[in-house]
Amino acid sequence: MRRAARKSEGQANGKMRRILAATAMVLMAAARAQAQGAAVTPEARAAAETVVVRKILVSLPECKLAVVEDGKVVKIYSVAVGKSSTPSPVGEFQVINRVAAPSYYKPGLVIPKGPENPLGTHWIGLDSKKIGIHGTNQPRSIGRRASHGCIRMKNEDVAELFSRVRVGDAVEILAEHTAETAEIFGVAAPAILTAQAAPAAQTKLTEAPRETVAAQ
């Protein structure tokens, strides 16, 4: 009788262990599935699918700036470009910083944010010494060759551009009409803009902010 009781008890214990093991496997599988589901949320998937290849194209002859995303033009702005004595640089660049409410400075003068600031409301810095895309306190200069080399925009336009661009975005500044500018800006006639800067003038640009945001 005792042997039969022990055998019966052993069988019951073995059955219980098998049930517990099966339950543990089910729980582990459920936890693994939940973890995998949390790792790839719809928001994360959407973010991965919306990576944008962005390029800012500036045409000096047209005094125009185009925003191109994934090969499509999404916005065109009128801008002011460098005047003959301080022309805008030509070539391929990258956005290296973004400053809201920048301060304007040159030796002996600092102008904080406000309506008198020559940099306007936003600064988008390029990897060319002291050159960037920024707002202005002289909106009537837009559409002309009037800057110290930077690309000037209306404050409302640069604010919109600022919200769109990111550090690392490509910027190309062209001094002549190309097939690309003809397609984007609708100007087909070839023309070349003379852009020969005096070295001293190029190194004394004042349209550059401190790389800090003025206190609100």
Q: How many CA atoms lie within 13 A of 28 on its CB side?
A: 6
Q: What is the C-alpha separation between 44 and 49, in angstroms, rounded?
A: 9
Do 96 and 127 meet the contact criterion of CB atoms below 8 Å apart? yes
Instruction: Please tell me whether residue 13 adopts helix, strand or coil conformation.
Output: helix
Q: What is the C-alpha separation between 80 and 150, in angstroms, rounded?
A: 8
Which residues are identified as catalytic? 134, 150
Please, which residues have CB within 8 angstroms of residue 32's CB and are 6 or more apart in sequence? none
